[in-house]
Amino acid sequence: MSSNNKLACHQQQRIQKYAKNSDSYKFFNLLTGPELLSTVEELLPEHRERQFPPTETLSMFLAQALSEDRSCQRAVNDSAIKRSISDRPTISTSTGGYCRARQRLPLPMISGLACRSGQLIDDQVLDQWRWHGRRVRLIDGTSVSMPDTAANQSKYPQQGGQKPGLGFPLCRVLAVICLSSGAILNASIGPFSGKGSDEQSLLRNVLETFQTGDCVLGDAFFGTYFLLAALLDKGADVLFEQMGARKRVTDYRKGKRLGFKDHVIELIKPKIKPGWMTQEEHDSEPNSLSIRELHVGGKTLITTMLNPKVTPSEELKALYKQRWQIEVDFRNIKTTMGMETLSCHTPEMNEKEIWVYFLAYNLIRLLMAQSALLADILPRQLSFKHSLQLWLSWCQQRTIDADVSDELLFTLMAQRRIGKRPGRIEPRAVKRRPKPMPLLMKPREQARENVRKYGHQKKLK
């Protein structure tokens, strides 16, 4: 027997052993546990009996986010077939009723469930999964595209360099993600450009997410004085890349020397207050901050963890490499799950769609954490795409055979590991050529009229 087969056999035996104890299902049981159910009951709006009640509508919305075909027609067709199989009253396959039911879902209900599910996962994370027993929070922003409608353009306008009718509305999303489990703890949504659209402004909207003892990990866009002061006021430590590190040279002869290219300096409060801050808030900020600067791994990092004996530079270097996990998480949500291009025609529905994706993502992370717990491995060692594919297949099988075992799902999830690829570099270029069609350089209605008059344009050579 090969070593890989021996490892798989050992993991299966371990999962079967621990699965016999219902207490070991502490992650999986959260799906139907009193904590999540109480949150659902609190956030449910007052409603009368309809063809699509809120809980069923949300379930169908989640299925859309997890499905390759994310159309409303597919969701309604699936519901109609399931009702017929279970001898429930049949429904029309028209999508009108379901679309109206989605519009009635309150945004606070969906966002509250997404944040609550992430917090429940984080509360159950084992100490050995954490960094030195500390909670590490990854922060970063990304952008998503919406259908080109007047309502979307009014709240989430397209990039300024594009002519009207040629671009798509864009929104920026900032997320706070747990490094240990990959769960989304909170998020903030805003326009892609304009006042209050930058990642720092979005982060200030969710500062309540951070608690005493947290370690916040982010890139160079977050290393500003007032944001550092706000996170320190929350009792959290930070590890960021130095803002403008590529443009200036740090003088390590200044401040308190800790080692080679490693020192502590005092940052002085800027005299000019930002536009978003009141004068009273500016006056209440500390006059200076103690910040550690160090150069490791080709990057200049800043941190509030000042003691080199407790947090040596090599450990900070290894921790900062883990920041890339949030980029992988965004890829899982946007590319694997399909959130990169939203489908709704109003900004309110697009915001609901984003939070539905986050809730669906957290539910998959919940199952991955359960599998990792039973297999005695780290959740980050499991493949998200592999787990998602297994979950979808498992759900289909459950509709046929209700007695299929949960431990089979966890065993299969634990079999697929993510390879270790330190220092991996990929070119930011597309190899596959697009179809030889010209770009649409005028509004679609005008282009249609030109086709009626002059015919289609020739293909590019």
Percent of the chain past pLDDT 70, that is, above it, reads: 85
- Given a cut of 50, whether residue 25 has pLDDT beyond it is no
**421 near 457, Cβ under 8 Å?**
no
How many Å apart are CA 221 and CA 265, to the nearest integer?
A: 20
Question: How far from each other are the two terminal CA atoms of the chain, in whole angstroms?
Answer: 56
pLDDT in tens, 69-124: 889 999 888 888 877 777 777 778 888 999 999 999 889 989 998 998 999 899 98
Geometric angle at alpha carbon 178, from 174 and 179, rounded to 5°: 110
Cα→Cα distances 54→162, 293, 447, Å:
39, 51, 41
pLDDT in tens, 149-183: 999 999 999 888 888 878 899 999 999 999 999 99
How many Å apart are CA 114 and CA 208, to the nearest integer?
A: 16
Return the residue matching tokens 């947090």. Answer: 311
**383 near 183, Cβ under 8 Å?**
no
Strand 237-241 with 215-218, pairing: parallel
Cα→Cα distances 329→142, 248, 326, 336, 383, Å:
11, 31, 5, 10, 11
- Given a cut of 50, whether residue 52 has pLDDT beyond it is yes
If you average pLDDT over residues 193-210, what whole number do you get?
Answer: 91
Residue 45 banded pLDDT, cuts 50, 70, 90? low
- Given a cut of 80, whether residue 217 has pLDDT beyond it is yes
Residue 261's pLDDT is 93
Q: Which residue ranges make up each domain of the chain?
A: 3-107+342-415, 220-322
Bridge partners of 263, per DSSP, are: 257, 293
- Given a cut of 90, whether residue 40 has pLDDT beyond it is no
Q: Structure tokens of 305?
A: 């963890």
**145 near 169, Cβ under 8 Å?**
yes
The one-letter code for the residue type at 397 is Q
pLDDT in tens, 225-267: 999 999 999 999 999 999 864 446 788 999 999 999 999 999 9
If you average pLDDT over residues 209-220, what whole number do you get?
Answer: 95
